[in-house]
């Protein structure tokens, strides 16, 4: 039953009291998933307050913010975008959302003003799960799954994203979304 809920393109929402600081109140897009191999995703709502052109050498001037993608391989840069028709070697995640692509062509498209910061998100590191790990975490209640909407990446405010996706799920999740970030015991 749980495996049917997991698929490429889903959003993983951290349960409200998750203690792991890497994933507290995060919304993670699952870009690759199989029960046999595990999964790869990127935290969509943890900006690092730095611009991609200041992080990468030999990169065109481009004021796109960089996000924390996850605790795995934090010496790598990844990107998710909505211009898969322009960027060769992009992998479709869901309609309107693509992962990666030819890096040299990316730089050319940015230099040519064919890709703007509104089209792309850059991530340092990624979130990864081995075979069975994500299913186990779901069974323990660490994550809630949701359908992806391209607006979550390209139009939503990062600091509001976790709450927004929870509210969009409706019913009890709407109530969960209103829970305070820090519990205050009187």
pLDDT value of residue 182: 64
User: Domain residue spans in the chain?
Assistant: 2-177
Dump pLDDT digits (tens) for 22-52. 999 999 999 999 999 999 999 999 999 999 9
Write the DSSP symbol of residue 117: G
What is the predicted pLDDT for the residue at 19? 85
CA atoms within 13 A on the CB side of 8: 14
Residue-level pLDDT at 4: 42
Of 22, 9, 44, 56, residue with least CA distance to 137:
22
pLDDT attached to residue 184: 52
CATH of domain 2-177: 3.40.1740.10
pLDDT < 50 regions, the chain: 1-4, 186
**Three-state SS at 139:** helix
**The pLDDT of residue 186:** 44
pTM of the model: 0.91
Q: What's the residue count for the chain?
A: 186
* CA distance between the termini of the chain: 39
The whole-number pLDDT of residue 5 equals 75
């Amino acid at each position: 039953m749980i495996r049917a809920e997991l698929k490429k393109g889903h959003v993983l929402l951290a349960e409200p009291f998750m203690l792991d600081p890497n994933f507290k109140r995060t919304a993670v897009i699952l870009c690759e998933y199989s029960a046999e191999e595990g999964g790869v995703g990127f935290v969509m709502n943890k900006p690092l307050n730095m611009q991609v052109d200041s992080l990468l050498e030999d990169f065109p001037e481009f004021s796109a913010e960089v996000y924390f993608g996850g605790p795995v391989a934090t010496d790598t840069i990844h990107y998710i975008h909505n211009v898969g028709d322009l960027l060769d070697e992009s992998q479709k995640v869901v309609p309107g959302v693509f992962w990666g692509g030819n890096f040299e062509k990316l730089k050319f498209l940015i230099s040519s003003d064919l890709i703007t910061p509104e089209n792309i998100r850059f991530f340092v590191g990624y979130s990864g799960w081995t075979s069975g790990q994500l299913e186990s975490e779901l069974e323990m209640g660490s994550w809630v799954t949701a359908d992806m909407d391209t607006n979550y990446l390209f139009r939503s405010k990062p600091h509001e994203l976790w709450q927004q996706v929870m509210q969009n799920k409706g019913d009890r999740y709407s109530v969960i979304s209103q829970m305070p970030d820090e519990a205050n015991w009187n």
